[in-house]
Each structure stands twice: as C-alpha cells, then as structure tokens.
Amino acid sequence: MGVLCTLCLVAPTASLAVDEAPDAFIKRVAVETLDAVKADKSLKGGDVGKIMQLVDTKLVQHINFRRMTALATGPNWRKATPEQQKRLQDEFKLLLVRTYSGALSQVSDQTIELKPMRGEIDEKNLIIRTEVKGRGDPIQLDYRLEKTPGEGAGWMIYDLNVMGIWLIENYKSQFTKEISTGGIDGLISSLAERNKSTAKK
C-alpha cells in the first residue's frame, strides 16, 4: 500500500484546457492535490469517507475506466455483453477507487519531479514519466494519457506504471486466470467479493 499511495498524487482538480501541455497538466494537478491532502487533517488522519469523496470527485472523472477495463480484460472484453461490460467496469472502478482511497492517507512530504518527454506527442498513447520524491528512495511513477475528442476536451489517464509495473498488465494476468475458470461472470463475482471484503475493513 505504501507504493500505491503515490498513485493518488496526481488526482486532477480541474478540467484540462485543450492547449495545456500534458506534462504541465500532470505537474499542476499533482501540486494541487498534494496541497489539498496536506491541508486537511481528516484526510491525513485516514477519514475513509472524506478520502473516498476526494478520490471520487477529483480523480475518477479524469480516468478512462472503459478503456482501462477493456485493456485489462483483453480479447474477452469483446465477447462480453453490454451489461457484463458495464458491471465489470463498475466493479473494477470501485476496486481502484478504494485502493487509492486507502493510500491517500499515507501522503506526507512527497513531491513530483517530471522527467523529459520523449519524441512527439501521440494523442492516443502518451507516456508522462515522473519521479515521486519523499522519505526513502525515489519512486518511478508514469502515466499513459490519451487526448479526448471534441472541443474543450483534454487528457485522460488510462494506465499507471509504478516501479516498472503497469497497472493494466498487472490486472490483465489476474483477469485472464479468473475468466479461464469462471468466465466473465466469474470475474465480475470475484471483483464484487473483493470490494465487499475491502469495504468491511
């Protein structure tokens, strides 16, 4: 959980302007979120209700959960019915939100340092590399972003890399095992049980 606490540091707090550079976006919202957590004693104290609210209002709206869930599910996503896709996405979203919520209370003196961008901007698959610095060794934290279509849109996060491990790839192996034994419904049930278990803690 200690490593996962850094995933929350870039929870966006405002809509991204079309002309805002993606690295500037990450830097801006990281600072804003860190400041918000440090200024609220109830958040630092582990108030689950307030932490859930912060994550749900600041972070969730800027993540493409549909694409994230589809990529983690792999080819089986296309075999699922629209209802199964919605249930799977909802359970996966809840799992991630609760994971990030529990981690937010561990924020202390961390800061974010951006790494130089490589190559040209790819609006469908852009990686922003950062390093989280605080107590202990620096932590690698990278983001995959995509440009949302339409005027007034911005960037959406759809994958995270912590210490060399991409979130989607990590869950993909787990999802594949669940689907091989119980199908899509089995995966949905497994995620639902994990969410119920997490809620009781």
pLDDT digits 0-9 by tens, 5-54: 444 444 444 444 446 788 887 887 777 777 777 788 777 676 767 777 77
* pLDDT tens-digit series, residues 157-188: 899 888 889 999 999 999 999 999 999 999 99
* pTM reported for the whole predicted model: 0.79
Which of these ranges, 24-28, 100-104, 109-113, has the smallest mean pLDDT? 100-104
Kindly give, in sequence order, each residue whose CB lies less than 8 Å from that of residue 11, ignoring residues fewer than 6 positions away.
29, 33, 54, 55, 58, 59, 62, 100
Q: How far apart are CA 57 and CA 82, in angstroms?
A: 26
Greater pLDDT, 62 or 179: 179
* pLDDT tens-digit series, residues 64-97: 999 999 999 999 999 999 999 999 999 999 888 8
The H-assigned helical ranges of 4-75 are 22-39, 41-44, 48-58, 65-73
